[in-house]
Amino acid sequence: MALTIAWEGIGVIANASSTTESIGVGTNQWNEDGSGTDSWTTDTFLQGGECFAGAYSNKSGQQYYRTSTAYNFGSGGNAEGQLLYVWVNCPTIGLLQNKATKGLAIRIGTSLSAYNEYTVAGSDDSNGWLGDWKCFVIDPTKTATATAGGGATITNINYIGVWIDTSAIARGDNIFMDTIAIGKGLRVTGTSTTGWQDIKDYVSTYATRAWGVYDAREKFFGKIYVGSTTQTAITQFSDTGQTIQFGDCEYWNGSAWVSSLPVTAHGIVIEDATGFRTEFKDGVIVGTDNGRAGSTFSGNSNENVSFDASGLTNAASFVKMYATTFKRFKGGIKLHNDADSEFFGGVITTSGQFDPAGAPSIRNCIFSATTDSYSGGLINGAALLWNSNTDIQDCQFIANVDATSNPHGIEHPAAGSITYTGLTFSGNDKQILFTAASGDLNITATGGTNASNTITDHTVIGTGTITVSNPITLTLTDVIAGSEIHILKADTILTADATDTSAYISSSGTSHAYNYNYPPSGYTEVDIHIVKPGYEVVQLENIPVSALNQSVKINQQTDRNYVA
């Protein structure tokens, strides 16, 4: 079974083809309003074999498509929450008026005289666009660059097109329009082991379709829904080694280039049905807790791109990602409460909070440079949200820093006693964010965890406190019974910290366990001094304080000069 790929939303409303549409002033027709020309052309086109074209030589005007259906982008409307996708080609950008005088703009209207315009290029600044085929993606509820006739009524959009104003002589057609669509993104169901590549190939097969959700710049626009709450078969979607980039589209608002999209426009959503599961896989598992050949998912600087599997309800559904990287997913990554789901060997960087949403296994991952905000709009949240049944081990929290606020590695929203296993912190502004209103957080650190027990390394929002206990044992073996053992802070005469009295013992057995919390405060090495009458003094200097249990074999030599 192959994938079924469809629009999530209304879909294509115009193909710019003389076989399905015509030129005229009626509905479902293309036309020109101004001093230019209009025609079908087969010289330049994107989808199919032709497109709608116009010629403007030192002239201005509008190329537009008039719909038979009134599209309502307002609350409760038939296009609520959907985006407008318009393909445009303008090979003579340098002949346009400048952007301040509206050289080229996407225009939407309730009539020819009541419209909103979104400036996308001028001869002085086209925001990096060279004039080749580009799909402009617009949220019609965004504040327009300019309006006329009181502006378009967002609940009644019938005219969709392009305004062009040229300031010099041009030869031949110099504005082209192709497919127009309305939607939120794509819905994908079915089965494929090359899922992402199948989507790219399908929506950019320009001989038959030019949807704009994925373009020649290899970027996605809108959300990708994998699975459905109404699916009537199992969805099994997997791939390896893909680069999935969510793009941005901007318009000139009169003073700056700003996003034409809502901040929640982009993302990946995993869904299932009660009787039919969804399986989402990325990468290849290595051993039992790592991965390779994972894909890289990248967001952008303007939108809160997200990954959300929290809506999965079928007990057999799962998300398994191996060596998967998320970058600039400012909307965060959210899994679902299922122990069959896995995230091994992954990287989350410059992204919002990672929420396991419960039981998924998380191993050998890196969480860095979080953009999560806890309060006040500052980057003062945490890279990972700890749930009551979080299963995470052997992961690193690195360089979660910000110039004006204090991001953290892990957020704990509830008090209680928990265990960290192999969780290491390095170069973060703060380590733990404890947000419970009351109660204490008691952490037992094991398996090489280096969480600090210094309260200033953490943030406590409520009335409780954070205590980190990282019990490590250094075992001295082959000790001569009755030895005096003294463990000192390196290069000092100060006794090292211990969780009991094991830093000094006057008469040992044949082995000795020195117990301490890691990391110690103020030093990283210890000296071990062992004295036993009749034996030479043992002095082991500058022994690194380890985050793991270890043993040291002691070799005490007979003192041949000793006299009892």
Longest dimension (CA), the chain: 118
Range with lowest mean pLDDT among 181-185, 515-519, 529-533: 515-519
Give the pairing type, strands 306-308 and 267-270: parallel
CA angle 252, 257, 263 (to 5 degrees): 110
Q: How confident is the model at residue 547 (pLDDT cuts 50, 70, 90)?
A: confident
C-beta of residue 221 within 8 angstroms of C-beta of residue 199 = no
Q: How many CA atoms lie within 13 A of 204 on its CB side?
A: 18
Q: Is 101 helix (H, G, I), strand (E, B) or coil?
A: helix
Determine the Cα–Cα distance for residues 23 and 5; give it in Å rounded to an integer.
31
C-beta of residue 359 within 8 angstroms of C-beta of residue 340 = no
Query: For residue 131, what are the contacts with CB-CB under 8 A and spacing of at least 6?
Result: 89, 90, 91, 92, 93, 121
Determine the Cα–Cα distance for residues 174 and 166; give it in Å rounded to an integer.
10
Span 316-344, average pLDDT: 97
pLDDT(414) > 60: yes
Determine the Cα–Cα distance for residues 320 and 344; give it in Å rounded to an integer.
8
Give the pLDDT confidence of 123-144 residue by residue, as tens digits: 999 999 999 999 999 999 999 9
pLDDT(466) > 80: yes
C-beta of residue 332 within 8 angstroms of C-beta of residue 355 = yes
Span 53-67, average pLDDT: 96
Q: Is 268 helix (H, G, I), strand (E, B) or coil?
A: strand
Query: For residue 563, what are the contacts with CB-CB under 8 A and spacing of at least 6?
Result: none
Span 338-344, average pLDDT: 96
Determine the Cα–Cα distance for residues 506 and 532; give it in Å rounded to an integer.
10
The pLDDT value given to residue 564: 76
Span 46-72, average pLDDT: 96
Q: Is 51 helix (H, G, I), strand (E, B) or coil?
A: strand
Tokens of 209: 């379709």
Range with lowest mean pLDDT among 365-374, 395-404, 449-458: 449-458
Determine the Cα–Cα distance for residues 501 and 475; give it in Å rounded to an integer.
14
pLDDT(459) > 80: yes
| Percent composition of the chain: helix, strand, coil (DSSP 3-state, to 5) | 5, 45, 55
Q: What is the mean pLDDT of the chain?
A: 95
Number of Cβ within a 10 Å radius of residue 242: 19
Alpha helices in 184-336 (DSSP H): 195-203
CA angle 13, 43, 11 (to 5 degrees): 15
Tokens of 336: 């679902």
Tokens of 253: 């608002």
Cα 266 from chain centroid (whole Å):
10
The pLDDT value given to residue 22: 95
Determine the Cα–Cα distance for residues 553 and 563; give it in Å rounded to an integer.
27
Determine the Cα–Cα distance for residues 261 and 251; give it in Å rounded to an integer.
10
Q: Which domains does the chain have, with CATH numbers?
A: 13-181 (2.60.120), 365-469 (no CATH), 473-553 (2.60.40)
Span 459-486, average pLDDT: 95
C-beta of residue 8 within 8 angstroms of C-beta of residue 186 = yes
**What element of type H or E holds 197?**
helix 195-203
The pLDDT value given to residue 1: 56
Give the pLDDT confidence of 434-450 residue by residue, as tens digits: 999 999 999 999 888 99
Tokens of 213: 């959700």
Tokens of 321: 């990602």
> CA gyration radius for the chain?
32
Determine the Cα–Cα distance for residues 453 and 466; give it in Å rounded to an integer.
8
Q: Token match 């022994």: residue?
A: 543
pLDDT(95) > 80: yes
C-beta of residue 241 within 8 angstroms of C-beta of residue 295 = yes
The pLDDT value given to residue 91: 96
Q: How confident is the model at residue 170 (pLDDT cuts 50, 70, 90)?
A: confident
Q: Is 515 helix (H, G, I), strand (E, B) or coil?
A: strand
Give the pLDDT confidence of 195-214 residue by residue, as tens digits: 999 999 998 888 888 899 99
Give the pLDDT confidence of 259-315 residue by residue, as tens digits: 999 999 999 999 999 999 999 999 999 999 999 999 999 999 999 999 999 999 999
Determine the Cα–Cα distance for residues 35 and 49; give it in Å rounded to an integer.
26
Span 506-526, average pLDDT: 93
Q: How far is CA 383 from CA 44, 270, 354, 365, 433, in A?
A: 48, 22, 6, 12, 10
pLDDT(392) > 60: yes
Q: How confident is the model at residue 517 (pLDDT cuts 50, 70, 90)?
A: confident
**What element of type H or E holds 192?**
strand 185-192
Determine the Cα–Cα distance for residues 271 and 309; give it in Å rounded to an integer.
7
Q: Report the predicted TM-score, pTM, of the whole model to 2 decimal places.
A: 0.90
Asked if the peptide bond before residue 519 counts as cis, ω within 30 degrees of 0, the response is yes
